Amino acid sequence: MIIRKFIDQYFLVGATSRSDTTRERIILANVIFLAVPVVIFISYLLDIKEFLVPTEQLNFDQFTRLMFGMASLVCYFLNRKGLFDFSRWIYLASWIAFWLVLDPVVQGTSSDYYFHFDLSIIGLSLVTQILVSYKREPIAFTAAMLFSLVCIFFQQSYLLYFDSNEQTAEILIDNVYTYQTSIYYWAIFNLIIGYLLYIYEKANIHLVENNKKLDRLTSNLEEVVAERTEDLQNKQRELIAIANQLEESQEKYRKLFTNSFEGIAQLELDPPLDISLPKNEQVEHLIQHLKLVECNDVFAQLYLENDTQKLVGENLAFIMDHNESMTNLMEAYVDQRYRLEGITLEESIHDTNRWFISHITSHIEDNKVQWLWLNKLDITEKSKQDQERKILLNHLEEYAFQTSHELRGPLSRLLGLTSLLLNNNAFDQEELPEMLKHINDTSLEIDDVIKMMNQVLSNSQYESKLTKSRSSKG
């Protein structure tokens, strides 16, 4: 982190707002502008003895490196101000001035100068390649490189012009070997640096393209993430709404399940029932594998149990406690194609006969019954009342038949007497009192029959049972 901060603070300054190619050149320039003063400072430390002499013995070339280091720092600060186009040409001009011109012009050439002059020219060409792009600035690049090449070709004449000791020049540089060696080194170093810069720029181009692709992918990814996030938020809201609806539905179902006057139970089949099996095998499978998952209090109370949890996990055949009742229910269930709609069956619960109306709804998947709902309504009391009403009606029919037979005789006589009275020619006036007496006796006989019938209806068990049945209906 500290190194990254150091690089950003000292080497990347002045390069943030430039194009990619120029930006890389500025970074390389900053490295050179800062590295040169450091190298010069180290060289002064190594050559410190040369400066520990009287002032009159000091030479001009001993300060050339110091002035060039100061020029490098000036160029670096120009870069920090964003003046790279200006600073690099100042740096190239300083290189030419301090390494190729001032020393020979001011004090002439000395023997050691012959050794580093061609290196200075090669260094100029290398710095030119680093600071000037042959793609973006082909004219300036070509001119600077040709200048360094011309300097290599004419370095001998140039140095000899300022040399006062021609004998030394002849020994050191006035020979074919030295001349060709300088050109060879100039070519080889420039080829190497040029190739390295080419690879460097190609790598940067690929890196820039990859960064752009990465930026596009990142941007697209951000858009996709934003869209997905919005979709997920919408889905989440929908799921919350559905969950709330399910919770409300579950609450309604739970209230209905708990407060229903019918016995409700959920039964599970493990393994599921294959409905392609023969009927007897299906019935046997149901009897053996139907287990209760949950039930309400009414269902438990139908089978004389107050705690519903004691029934959970039990086999339905165990709960019903009567093999014939269980078999009849399952046979009806299979016959009705796994759905019962209000079938009435008699069951024996702990040796007590009771009547139920049963409803069954199934869940069938892959041609197999997975689980089912069983609803049972106890109608035993209603069945008893219906039976008692049937018996009462039969007794009333018998009594009505007997009563009608007893009334038929007196009514027939009464009708005969009244018909005689209507026919004046059918009797004598003297017989009238006797006929009236017969009419009165017959009326009294009918009245006795009616009184007896009222007494029977009011005092017998028939009226009490009839009243009970009427009150139960009300």
**pLDDT tens for each residue of 166-196:** 555 555 555 666 677 888 888 888 898 888 8
**pLDDT tens for each residue of 89-128:** 898 898 888 888 877 776 665 555 666 777 888 888 888 8
470 pLDDT above the threshold of 50: no
Please identify which residue in the block is written with the tokens 């008692």. 388
CA proximity to 315, closest of 268, 381, 256: 268
Looking at every residue in the chain, the average pLDDT score rounds to 78
Q: What integer is the mean pLDDT of 79-96?
A: 85
pLDDT score recorded for residue 174 = 55
**pLDDT tens for each residue of 258-302:** 777 888 889 999 899 999 999 999 999 999 999 998 988 888 888
pLDDT score recorded for residue 369 = 92
Host H or E run for residue 359: strand 352-365
Q: Binning pLDDT at 50, 70 and 90, where does residue 471 land?
A: very low
pLDDT score recorded for residue 437 = 77
pLDDT score recorded for residue 221 = 81
**pLDDT tens for each residue of 48-62:** 777 776 766 666 667
Long-range contacts of 414-418 (CB under 8 A, 24+ apart): 414/439, 414/442, 414/443, 414/446, 417/442
pLDDT score recorded for residue 469 = 47
**pLDDT tens for each residue of 290-346:** 999 898 888 888 888 888 888 888 888 888 888 888 888 889 999 988 888 888 888
Spans of all domains in the chain? 2-220, 262-378, 384-473
Q: What integer is the mean pLDDT of 454-473?
A: 54
152 pLDDT above the threshold of 80: yes
Q: Binning pLDDT at 50, 70 and 90, where does residue 387 land?
A: low
Spatial CB neighbours of 259, under 8 Å, sequence gap ≥ 6: none
- Neighbour order of strands in the sheet with 290-295: 290-295, 263-274, 368-378, 352-365, 340-349
**CATH 1.10.287 holds for 384-473:** yes
**pLDDT tens for each residue of 231-252:** 888 888 888 888 788 777 767 7
Homologous superfamily of domain range 262-378: PAS domain (3.30.450.20)
What b/e sequence results for 213-245 when a residue is b if at least 16 CB atoms lie within 10 Å of its CB, and e otherwise?
eeeeeeeeeeeeeeeeeeeeeeeeeeeeeeeee
| Four-residue CA torsion sign, 329, 330, 335, 337 | positive
Q: In whole angstroms, give the CA distance from residue 278 to residue 334.
A: 10
Tokens of 284: 């046997």
Host H or E run for residue 283: helix 279-289
Q: Binning pLDDT at 50, 70 and 90, where does residue 466 land?
A: very low
Q: In whole angstroms, give the CA distance from residue 112 to residue 133.
A: 33
**pLDDT tens for each residue of 193-209:** 888 888 877 777 777 67
Q: pTM for the full model?
A: 0.45
pLDDT score recorded for residue 273 = 92
